[in-house]
Homo-oligomer: A and B are copies of this chain.
Amino acid sequence: MNTARYIGNGALEVVDTEPVPPAPGEVQLDVAYTGICGTDLHILHGAMDARVTMPAVLGHEMAGRVASIGDGVEDWAVGDPATVMPLVPCGECAACRVAASHICYRLVFLGIDAPGSMQSRWNVPADALVRLPADLSLQTAALTEPTAVAVHDVRRSGLAAGERAVVVGAGPIGLLIANVARSAGAEVVVFEPSERRRRIVESLELVAVDPLAVDTAAWVDDWTDADGADVAFEVSGTAAGMGTAVGCLAARGRAVVVGIHSTPPAVDLFRVFWRELSLIGARVYEREDYEEAVRLLAAGAIPSETLITDVVPLDAVTEAFRAMDAGESMKILINCDS
Q: Which residues of A contact B (CB under 8 A)?
A: 93-95, 98, 100, 103, 105, 156, 224, 226-228, 242, 250-252, 257-262, 264-283
Given A94-B250, A269-B242, A282 contacting B278 (CB threshold 8 A): no
Inter-chain contacts of A260 with B (CB < 8 A): 270, 273
Inter-chain contacts of A93 with B (CB < 8 A): 227, 251
**Which residue on chain B has the smallest CB distance to residue A271?**
B281
Distance of A95 from chain B, by nearest CB (Å)? 4
Our pick among B95, B224, B272, B275 for the contact of A279 (Cβ within 8 Å) is B272
Distance of A243 from chain B, by nearest CB (Å)? 9
CA distance A224 to B93 in the complex (A): 12
Inter-chain contacts of A278 with B (CB < 8 A): 278-281
Inter-chain contacts of A227 with B (CB < 8 A): 93-94
**Which residue on chain B has the smallest CB distance to residue A234?**
B269
**Which residue on chain B has the smallest CB distance to residue A278?**
B280
CA distance A276 to B103 in the complex (A): 8
Q: 3 tightest CB-CB pairs across the interface, nearest first?
A: A95-B251, A94-B227, A261-B269
Inter-chain contacts of A271 with B (CB < 8 A): 281
Given A95-B252, A242-B269, A156 contacting B264 (CB threshold 8 A): no
